[in-house]
Structure formats: structure tokens, C-alpha cells
Amino acid sequence: MSNASVTPAFTGLTARLACGLVLLASHGWCGSQSIGSNDYPNKPIRIIVPFPAGGPTDITARVVGQAMGEAMKTSVIVENKAGGHGFIGVTEAARAPADGYTLMMASIGTMAINPKLHASIPYDANKDFAPVSLVVTVPIALVVNPRQVPTTKASDFMVYLKAHPGQLNFASAGNGGSSHLVPEYLKFRTHTFMTHIPYKGSGPAIADVVAGQVDLMFDTLLTSTPFVKSGKLKMLAVTTSKRLAEYPDVPTMGEVLGAIDPALKDFEASSWYALYAPAGTPAAVLTRLMQEVDAALKRPAIAKRLLDLGAVPVGGEAKRLADFQRSEQIKWGRVIDAAKIKPE
């Protein structure tokens, strides 16, 4: 509590009693004032990332967190708490004090897929967190190791996949994430088969695709772009509804599949990353955080860096994220049920 919130003559026990009386009289004035938007932040903020360093969630947290820290004049520390399908980090974030000093950068996997994939998880994605802002959406691309996959076009890839069931394997950032469900969705829709090789995070998964240990991956551009630009990986298609301006010659999977069967032209999927605080965080703090995220994403240097990495800055109010999250839960719940995907 700031010195301005009580009369200077009040000190020690007298001041504490005074604050207690005000608290009773005004239903929480003292407590909320101490962590209101005017006083926040007055110490470092940490952002929990429930995945290993180097993956897309981690990259998003570090780029945006640094910009927020500079604007708020405090340190923003990213802590990677990987393991257990993201359960470890998400659970720690849910149990953290609701004071605005512990946040979480979460993904489509932790907030939309896990609640539908697992019969029981140690957190409630819709009740244990206060949405702050949808930070970025990230296109997903089919990337292959050109030494492992004997094709340079997505249409030829589908022909090869159909003719060689089980001979190709794909890496994922872990069971149940978008890099797992998108190819499973492809398999289900096209009646094809590839072997799933799960990893603990996008970083190690894409590294093994580059090394030739795994043939391909449906990866976010956030982690695969550097390898595509260097020629170590070949991008065959994107799973967005429209071609990307940065890669106008790369077709969408909807185009490729629609040429095979018009019923498949609606194939579409994107990943996303969003910022959350524990449920119960004061509204003034949540508003301040949302405003800082928006301001960071509108900074030309930050927006360009994210776009160069393959992420699309979004931002916006908490309600937008809450509504989007529920719609994504419905969509991927239907995919999980239709493809009969089970957690390992």
C-alpha cells in the first residue's frame, strides 16, 4: 500500500487497524489499491511457458515479454516448465497468486485440445485462468526433409503417401498438440497412414526432422521458417484457408486435397498462443496487461519480428480470447472424436 493511501500520522499498528477499517467499509479498497493499475508492476513479472525453450510458445513469450517489460519498466522473466502434455507448467500457473506477477503463455494444445483429448486433466482451461489477450496465430506448414521425402510438391507427396502407407513418419511437439492433431486429421480425412514420433517440444522435434531422423512435420512457421529459408527443409503446403503472402507459391492443403476430392477443400488449421493470468487477478491489472500486449504488438519492430518468424500478431480484449478459446475447443473436440484420437 502506498504512503498516500493513509494519513501520514498513522504508523505501525494504528495504520494497519485503519486499513482494516477501510477494508471493511469499502469492501476491499485497501487490497485492490495495493495492486491496482497505478501501482502495478512494482516487481519483476514471470511468464510460465509449459513447454521447452526454443519452441513456438517460448519464442512468442520471449518476444512479447521483452517488449512488455521495456514498456512497463520492469523485468519480465520467462520460465520453462515443460512436461506432462503441458500439465506441469499450466498447473503451476493456475495455482500461482492472482496478483499479476505470474502469467502464462499458453497454446492451442493446452487450452483447446487437452480439455477435449484427456478424460481428466489437473486444471480447468475455462475456469482456472483469466484471459488476457490472444497474442498471435501461427500458420502450420507441411515441411519435409528433402533428403528423406522424394518429392517437392504437395500433390506428389499425397500420391506417395497413399502408395506407401506406413513408410513415412512425422514428428510432433508431443501427443495431442496441434503438430500431432493436424496430421492425424489429414490421415483421417484422406484414409492414409503415417507413423507418429512424439517429442517433448517443437524444438527437439524439428531438429530431428532437419537431421533426417524423422521425415516430416506439420510445424508452425514460428519454428520451421529459419530451416525453410536456409534450404534444410522444404515447405510443401500450408494449412491456412488462404495462401500466405510471404509464400505465394506454396499451396494450401485445402487446394491440394480439393483437387483430389472436392469434399476435402475445407481442410484448414492454425496454431495460436495467448497470455493468461490466474483466475481472480484484479480487473485493473488484467486491463493493464491487455493494453501492454496490444501496444507491444503494434510496435513496428515487434510486429515485423513476429511476422518474419511466421506469426500473425492479433491482440484484442479478453472476451475475444475467451470466445475464441471455446470455439476452438468445439472444433478440435470434433476432430478428436471423428479421428478417434486417444492420449498416449
pLDDT tens digits for 52-96? 898 889 999 999 999 999 999 999 999 999 988 789 999 999 999
Q: CA 333 from chain center: how many Å?
A: 17
Rounded Cα distance between 129 and 90, Å, is 10
pLDDT at 340: 80
Decide the pairing of beta strands 216-220 and 169-172: parallel
Q: Return the ∠ at Cα 223 (arms to 220 and 224), rounded to 5°.
A: 80
Most confidently predicted of 28-32, 87-91, 333-337: 87-91
Rounded Cα distance between 23 and 78, Å, is 34
Q: Residue 174: what are its φ and ψ, rounded to 5°?
A: 145, 155
Rounded Cα distance between 147 and 130, Å, is 46
> Which residues are registered as beta bridge partners of 130?
277
Rounded Cα distance between 35 and 22, Å, is 16
Which position has the grid cell 502408395?
A: 163
pLDDT at 37: 54
Whether pLDDT at 8 is above 60: no
Rounded Cα distance between 286 and 223, Å, is 29
C-alpha pair distances (Å), 193 with each of 54, 108, 166, 205, 218: 29, 24, 5, 19, 14
pLDDT tens digits for 209-235? 999 999 999 998 878 889 999 999 999
